[in-house]
Chain A
Amino acid sequence: MRLTTNVDAAPGRSPRQAIPFLLPALVVLAALVLYPLVFSLIRSFFDASGDEFVGLRNYVDTFTDPRTLIAFRNNVIWVVVAPAAVTGIGLILAVLTERIRWATAFRLVLFMPMAISLFASGIIFRLVYEEAPNQGVVNAVLVGVHDMFSPSSQYPGARPRTGYTATDAGFVGDAPVQAGDTVMLPLVGFSPQQVPPQALPASTPASGSGELRGVVWLDVSVGGKAGKVDPTERGLPGVAVEAVRDGQVVARTTTGDDGRFTFPDLAEGDAVVHLPSSNFSLPFRGMTWLGPSLITPVIISSWIWIMTGFAITFIAAGLSAIPRDALEAARVDGATEWQVFRRVTIPLLSPVLLVVFVTLVINVLKIFELVFVIAPGSVQEEANVLALQMWQVSFGTGGDQGAGSALAVILFVLVAPAMLFNIRRFRRERS
């Protein structure tokens, strides 16, 4: 107290004195925040060139444009799913890591994605979800697991050249055959290089002799005639062939190394030759993650990966601030760990959880980079969000900055309640 007598007795009481100190900050604030805000608002009432006043037309256009409506829908999905998921996962991981010895190291690892820019993370996830299993790790795992349980077929994609009708069960011959006939089965749609090494050159089996005979061969060669066994063409070993009569399989065999097959004791009467689809089923290639239906969940999942570290850090800080005696008291009273978590930890943590949640909501509303990077051009419309749409309208497509400003204002109006909420919270905490 004694010291203060030398200077102004009541600092901060005189507004005149405060002005010079506040002025630099006010100028910066006005130039960088207030002016752009007001300018955007005014600009949103003008047309693309900025010369003509159009009233609310930009807003009407925005709410009638199907592209923007998809962006709205996606933003709603984002806000409903992403912040809640991240807060939930963050809570669980924070509580669990509190119990382990290397908690800090563990949290550090989980926090690491936050150190990467969203743009770089986007590029990483673009590759992670790549469709080709030899490039995208998610599909590589899916294909690996799938092939462990049901190995792929021997001749994926191969099909008879003509004379067979494709069904779900396989290929069914159009023409009936009888014992004593010779069935020619030229297959195409398969690379000659991938024919098994034990395959021998194909040849036409002799007819007659009361057996149904045939040959399955790869009818692909340079200068080869379609449907004819040419000298360089090889038989396909191991193809399952069935004889079907009245919808019932009456005989079953597989081809030899020269592609030939024989049904030795086929009874009299017509039958059809059937090639089961198990011979040709295409290998499982995983899922089209970056297609129109899955793109938004995919992008949300990568955002969750990035932001979980953020949630953990905040919630862990909140956890360490919880009075231990409250937890101990509950345990002494015989509460199970679940009850402690549910009835004591969560209520005590709720202020922190709310702040984390609201911050994430703001973050989600302005999501841009991930969508821009991860979604291929063909599904950008399906993955679109408001911030991306705003950028595209303003700078991407002939630059309609009037409509872009309208979108910016709408985005601002959407973010504002969450921001106000946070500001009021902070203020209440301080008082």
Chain B
Amino acid sequence: MRKQLIALLAFTAVAGVSACSGGAAGTSSDLKGQTVEIVGPWTGDEQKNFEKVLEAFKSKTGADVKYTPAGDELPTVLQTRVSGGTPPNVALIAQPGLVAQFAKAGALKPVGAEVDKAVTEHNAAVWKQFASVDGKLYGFTFKTANKSAFWYSEKAFGQVGATPPATWDDLVKTSKAIAETGLAAVAVGGADGWTLTDWFENVYLRTAGPDNYDKLSKHEIPWTDPSVRKALEELAKLWGDPTLIAGGALQTEFPKSVINVFGDTPNAAMVFEADFVASVITTNTKAKVGQDAKFFPFPSVAGSKDAVVAGGDMAVQFKDDRATTELMKFLASPESGEIWAGQGGFLSPNKDVKSYPDDVTRDLAKRIVDAGDNVRFDMSDLAPAAFGGTKGAGEWKDLQDFLANPKDVDGIMARLEVNAAKAFGK
């Protein structure tokens, strides 16, 4: 640990020194001897793929790039590094709240004009909002997650000749048809509260529209608003029928809900969640993504337009030396995304990244790009953690209670509002 710390200090010192000396250097391909440190959440296979991206940057510019994987502890790692005065050059942050916090504290540097131009050119306008604080752009989403997908078992749908439903009412109808075969329609990973917030966000974004979604995210309208009631009532059409939801949902963790659909003894036909369901299927079941396991986008509710709830890792910079800026420019360009996209397990909001390895991934990415400005960031990730990110508390717990008793719309709304007011008030 200590050794690492010294190494880090040495690295950042070198980076600092070389930044000063590198200012006079000529072309962008000549950053030899400079070191950039980047902190991100990815470990394992994702780390390997991201390091390939960084390798490309290195061979292009000659700069040395050091990647530090921080896993789930990334917020803690960054906060410690920043308050200790040794931030990395670039970090990839999944929590917009943390980006805002760093920006307001003055720890982040706004992106340069070239990066701004690249972001504007390759992304829908809404993506700039996600990474902007007080009107200044601090970064961009490098890797995104499409949280608006229903994954279904081809075999279970074949039993009743069902086709992917396009509207919420069709979904309920299809679900009922599937339930006639003795199989539950939907497996819900209700032991994990975040799956339920994703359910709600998708319905709410469609019934209430993006504007209300933004307001509710900031708690500018209360959770007792009629638009929340409407969304919960739509949700209750599915959750309220015990034949449609696989039993024991509140004791089922997310990975198990996927296995319950695609494993050897399925008890449901569909599972709703983000693109990463595909990797759960591949590692835990014999089902083949694209053949046995397919997806359809979250259906339109009451005539709503295409919309996607997304998550993502935002690249931000703590320094603004030339090597850092070059790296940000590289990450904002389609070139970097193409490298990882080709390896799989990667979606980019960048509309010019095209090298996805299979149809399913390509389609998932296309949905995000096509939804344009109707993409919204995961609302629970925007809320204070006490409300949107705590096991067994706040929104997670309230929606779990709603899943247990979908009739009690009023009670749930009141509880959501109490918890939200408390968390936002602090």
List residues of chain A with CB under 8 Å of any chain B CB: 48, 67, 130-132, 134, 157-158, 161, 188-192, 194, 219-220, 222-223, 285, 288, 290-291, 375-381, 384, 392, 396-398, 400
Contacts and interface: CB of A to CB of B under 8 A. Distances in A.
Contacts of A400: 386, 426
A191 B183 contact: yes
Given A134-B265, A378-B251, A222 B158 contact: yes
Contact of B180 (A188, A288, A397): A188
A379 B392 CA distance: 7
A377 B396 contact: yes
B230 interface: no
B164 interface: no
B391 A396 contact: yes
Interface in B396-426: 396-397, 400, 404, 423, 426
B315 interface: no
Nearest to B401: A378
Interface stretch (B127-135, B189-197, B218-226): B189-197
Contacts of B392: 375, 377-381, 384
Nearest to B247: A285
Given A189-B243, A376-B253, A132 B248 contact: yes
Contacts, number: 96
B66 to A, nearest CB: 28
A368 to B, nearest CB: 14
Contacts of A396: 385, 390-391
Contact of B181 (A67, A131, A192): A192
Nearest to B160: A222
B283 interface: no
Contacts of B192: 377
Contacts of A189: 179-182, 243
Contact of A222 (B159, B190, B394, B426): B159
A378 B189 CA distance: 10
Contacts of B265: 134
Contact of A397 (B181, B251, B253, B386): B386
Nearest to A65: B422
A323 B26 CA distance: 93
Nearest to B397: A381
Chief secondary structure at chain A's binding surface? loop
Q: Which of B183, B251, B253, B390 has the most CB of A within 10 A?
A: B251
B160 A378 contact: no
Contacts of B53: none
3 closest pairs, A vs B, by CB?
A380-B392, A188-B180, A376-B191
B251 A376 contact: yes
Which of A67, A132, A288, A290 has the most chain B CB atoms inside 10 A of its CB? Answer: A132
Contacts of B390: 392, 396-397
Nearest to A376: B191
Contacts of B290: none
Given A190-B182, A392-B390, A398-B385, A378 B193 contact: yes
Given A191-B183, A378-B392, A288 B251 contact: yes
Contact of A379 (B180, B250, B423, B426): B250
A190 B391 contact: no
B393 interface: yes
B161 A190 contact: no
Contacts of B426: 48, 398, 400
A285 B190 CA distance: 19
Interface string B239-259: 000010001101101000000
A378 B402 CA distance: 11
Given A291-B250, A377-B396, A220 B191 contact: no
B384 interface: yes
A220 B193 CA distance: 35
A378 B191 contact: yes
Given A285-B247, A379-B392, A398-B426, A220 B400 contact: no
B180 A220 contact: yes
Contacts of B386: 397-398, 400
A361 B387 CA distance: 33
A222 B179 CA distance: 14
Contact of B251 (A134, A192, A290, A398): A290
B298 to A, nearest CB: 23
A130 B179 CA distance: 24
Interface in B173-217: 179-183, 190-193
A356 B222 CA distance: 53
Contacts of A380: 391-393, 397
B182 A194 contact: yes
B296 to A, nearest CB: 19
Nearest to A392: B390
Contacts of A131: 247-248, 251
Nearest to A161: B180
A220 B181 contact: yes
A63 B400 CA distance: 25
B393 A392 contact: yes
B385 A377 contact: no
Contacts of A222: 158-161
A254 B247 CA distance: 31
Contacts of A219: 180
B422 to A, nearest CB: 9
